[in-house]
Structure 1
Amino acid sequence: MGKITGFLEFDRVEEPHAPVAERVTHFHEFVTTLTESQARQQAARCMDCGIPFCSNGCPVNNIIPDFNDLVYRNDWKNAFLVLDSTNNFPEFTGRICPAPCEVACTLNINSEPVGIKSLERAIIDRAWAEGWVVSRPAPRKSGKRVAVVGSGPAGLAAAQQLGRAGHDVTVFEKNDRIGGLLRYGIPDFKLEKSHIDRRIAQMQGEGVSFRTGVLVGGMPSEGVGATVTNLSRETLSADQLLDEFDAVLLTCGAEQSRDLPVSGRELRGVHFAMQLLPQQNRIDAGDKVKDAISAKGKHVIVIGGGDTGSDCVGTCNRQGAASVTQFELMPMPPLHENKELTWPYWPIKLRTSDSHAEGVQREFAISTQGFVSSGRGSAVKALKTVQIEIKGGKPTEIPGTEKDWPADLVLLAMGFTGPTTTLLDALGVERDARGNARASVDDSLGYKTNAKGVFAAGDMRRGQSLVVWAIREGRQAARAVDKYLMGATTLPR
């Protein structure tokens, strides 16, 4: 390594954040990229540890020690080339990834880990600014046509890899803009959509085609599936897709939100998080959204303590909520992990997001029993809850802890149960026990479903997960599709 004693000399440097009072007044990004000197100092902390656990902790297996060393040596272009060799979209992961690589950093055993995520962002932001990110069209065409259904991170990664392998790739997206969860799930204050737009332009330069507003196979007409954002203008049948393309890759995500079947669920003011978040992103893009959900002046309760719930907290504070409270069913985890037991794996500990820091009351070990009507137009006015404790591995209610909480807006952010099943049924794709598309990740059968020429990847195959896992699966599925079409492949696994 360039600075063999850097980890002893320098402290971890965090990316600068705009003050809370300033950033809650808008929906733009508020985290600033490290300066060149900050990045080089942070890269100098990467120790000569021998075994780069960080690379194994990263789902796309970024070659982290190499690009850290190159940043330290001020060789930014080669640092970008190393990063680009394993990750199609580091500007996404450098902003919204929870950074399991940093958890696995050897320095994290008894100190603060290297700021790998911030370095990744610094490298790719520098690469865009310098003009190093360019289209790389295939030198020759294969004559094969591939349909990618769904334009989230898995679909985009697969489409780029397949396009560079020489195939004619068409990405189908049911909504009016490309990006899937990146576009209509992640708030703009975490990921501005200009990052997606310039990647689309790059991919178009590589020959990838995009068709927006096209629904493939239909959508559920009732139930939870009917609440999924659908801005399509035309429908393409599964048979049409199979007739026109040599292979089909399904990357539609796990869009069905987990519901809360308690009394009063039908009351006005009780919504899924994924009804609020897409609407706000559309408004940020300049769209006019009829009857848009708004937290302005309301007492908001977010049910669910994960990332989606945190995004709701940040969104509601920016919309001008009177108060925001977040419920988590599980007990509050410890403030710090026992690294001797957990390293290099992802630990269970209390995590406070930037949105939490902007203002929220967090409640743990609490279960919602029902919603109470205001009596005026069947709107929600309160929640009934009870505290719980874990006994025998199961949540058990504690008698005498019942409580009513005032609420004008309730957002259900309890995760996702799986993909909508309409397209899977139309293609005859088998599902696993959790309702996801059944497909192996074995190299010989990689990502292939039981339906001929049909593959599945990302959250549609593995269930709700991280953007970085979607990118990994998209890249690996592209390799599997290329091998299926050509008999062999040179795409990386």
Structure 2
Amino acid sequence: MADPKGFLTTPRQDWPRRPVEERVRDWNEVYVPGALLPIISKQADRCMDCGVPFCHEACPLGNLIPEWNDLVSREDWRAAAERLHATNNFPEFTGRLCPAPCEAGCVLAINQPAVTIKNVECAIADRAWEEGFAPPAPPERLTGRTVAVIGSGPTGLAAAQQLTRAGHTVAVYERDDRIGGLMRYGIPEFKMEKRHLERRIEQMRAEGTKFRTSVTVGRDVDAAELRARYDAMVIATGATAWRELPVPGRELAGIHQAMEYLPLANRVCEGDLESSPLSAAGRHVVIVGGGDTGADCLGTAVREGAASVTQLDIYARPGTERDDDAEPWPTYPKLYRLSAAHEEARDLRTAPAADADARLFAASTLRFTGDADGHVRSLHLVEVDAGRRPVPGTGRALPADLVLLALGFSGPDRGDGLIDRLGLALEPRGTIARDAGFATGVPGVFAAGDAARGQSLIVWAIAEGRAVAAAVDRHLSGGTTRLPAPIGPYDRPMTV
């Protein structure tokens, strides 16, 4: 514990964001460049180095948070990077994209603002790259065993890196033209610039991982034949089967899934397109869904120059303080949080009809209506109570030229034939069935990440990748492994 009184003398200070008017004119990350390092050592001083650090338990990766907080407070960046990378393959991703359940579990958060764990993590990761503390770590020898990893999201990449470093020859198959999965084409550039992803991919290439892009296993390559070519296979395709909104008018033009919209904006940033064919420029946009994907659509539409943007959330507006009875510490509470996109929408007043920032809470979509050409023009909604029952007399309509459905995902997409060709069993909710060792019913085939767990956070995805790598290594080596397994397939976040 670097400063025994740090949590008493130093207030919480987060990484400052760039001014709204400036950042909505570009696609760069929303934070002030270089503004994190000057404040982070004092923020790390706030860590109390608890005897029982619940931040460990709240994070499925088991990050050694008090240890690297202490090292950062002493400005021992090399040692901090070593402790951080001991449990997390991609801390620069989680430091930018994770909602930080570790901070909800911080002991200081019982009665004070939590330690800025996520910011400290990001600072360590960025400093590690700047100082050369994250060199490639190729294996000393090869085992002669081969593994195919299907999917290059955080689960697939973590599994591939762990198995490559263990000495196995690993090939990652990705259906898109670039590696990264949803981190590449689902996460907007303003949340994580893709240079961070490219840097890790190059590190993995230098370690020996092979990448095969523009290959849809099950369609371009027969899944059973591919399985026969490798000693083991990891299915990490994610949960890409999006949920639908079966209401009258859904068939109208101009209503799209969020994951039809977001990848096009990312392709503009990649230089593939001059402009998105689904651009929100000059259009009245309504986003159905109150989660992070909806917020990503919001920030994207604002940058594209939408005439208005409104986000609908079926849940009531949460409070700003934890409900100690319903969601006691150290669980992750549902609170009213102001993301960068919501801050932008609030300051720019993109949604005049919204309750707060751009959101309408306790709002349920009834139907869509369109014009004579079959294009959507209005979304009709009603307020709902806690049981999602319509409240009489609260119906109204919003102008809508572009509607984006951000309702989450139900499981892996079966359209490519991968699941059926391999004969994989599914759980009732649509995810891939597996046993306590991440193994499916098909010999040598393992399943991990959202494809098997269901839609989850990036920290759970990376933890799944690390854990399935240990299971595969054990399978290939005859029952032993030196790889860590931070979670089991049936572990879940802390709840009441």
Q: TM-score range by the shorter chain?
A: over 0.9
1:429 correspondence with 2:424: yes
2-side partners of 1:60 and 1:426: how far apart? 33
Deviates more, 1:258-267 or 1:31-40: 31-40
Which 5+ residue runs of structure 1 have no aligned equivalent? 219-234
Per-residue deviation, residues 340-377 of structure 1 (Å, max 9, x unmatched): 751000112222211001014311111111110111x2
**How far is the alpha carbon of 1:290 from its aligned partner?**
8.3
2:137 is aligned to 136
Identity fraction in percent: 51
2:104 is aligned to 103
1-side partners of 2:276 and 2:29: how far apart? 26
2:9 is aligned to 9
Per-residue deviation, residues 452-492 of structure 1 (Å, max 9, x unmatched): 11001000011111111100000000000000011111111
2-side partners of 1:73 and 1:290: how far apart? 47
2-side partners of 1:471 and 1:236: how far apart? 26
Q: Per the alignment, in what secondary structure is the counterpart of residue 384 of structure 2?
A: strand
**How far is the alpha carbon of 1:138 from its aligned partner?**
0.6
Gap change, CA 1:91 and 1:315, over 3 Å in 2: same
Per-residue deviation, residues 163-200 of structure 1 (Å, max 9, x unmatched): 00000000000000000010010000001111111111
TM-score of the two chains, using structure 1 as the length reference:
0.93
- 1:46-445 to 2 correspondences below 5 Å: 46-218=47-219, 235-288=220-273, 292-339=277-324, 342-359=328-345, 360-375=357-372, 377-390=373-386, 394-421=387-414, 422-440=417-435, 442=436
Per-residue deviation, residues 12-57 of structure 1 (Å, max 9, x unmatched): 1110210000000111112135544411101110013211101111
2-side partners of 1:371 and 1:349: how far apart? 30
CA RMSD of aligned residues (A): 1.2
TM-score of the two chains, using structure 2 as the length reference:
0.93
1-side partners of 2:49 and 2:284: how far apart? 51
Query: Would you say the 8 A contact 2:30–2:340 is kept in 1?
Result: no
Q: Per the alignment, in what secondary structure is the counterpart of residue 385 of structure 2?
A: strand
1-side partners of 2:63 and 2:109: how far apart? 18
Gap change, CA 1:262 and 1:363, over 3 Å in 2: same
Which 5+ residue runs of structure 2 have no aligned equivalent? 346-356, 486-496
Query: Would you say the 8 A contact 1:109–1:339 is kept in 2?
Result: no
**How far is the alpha carbon of 1:335 from its aligned partner?**
2.3
1:455 is aligned to 446
Deviates more, 1:298-307 or 1:40-49: 40-49
1:472 correspondence with 2:463: yes
Q: Per the alignment, in what secondary structure is the counterpart of residue 342 of structure 1?
A: coil
**How far is the alpha carbon of 1:402 from its aligned partner?**
1.7
2-side partners of 1:459 and 1:22: how far apart? 36
Deviates more, 1:33-42 or 1:186-195: 33-42
**How far is the alpha carbon of 1:288 from its aligned partner?**
2.2
1:228 is aligned to none
Q: Per the alignment, in what secondary structure is the counterpart of residue 327 of structure 1?
A: strand
2:30 is aligned to 30
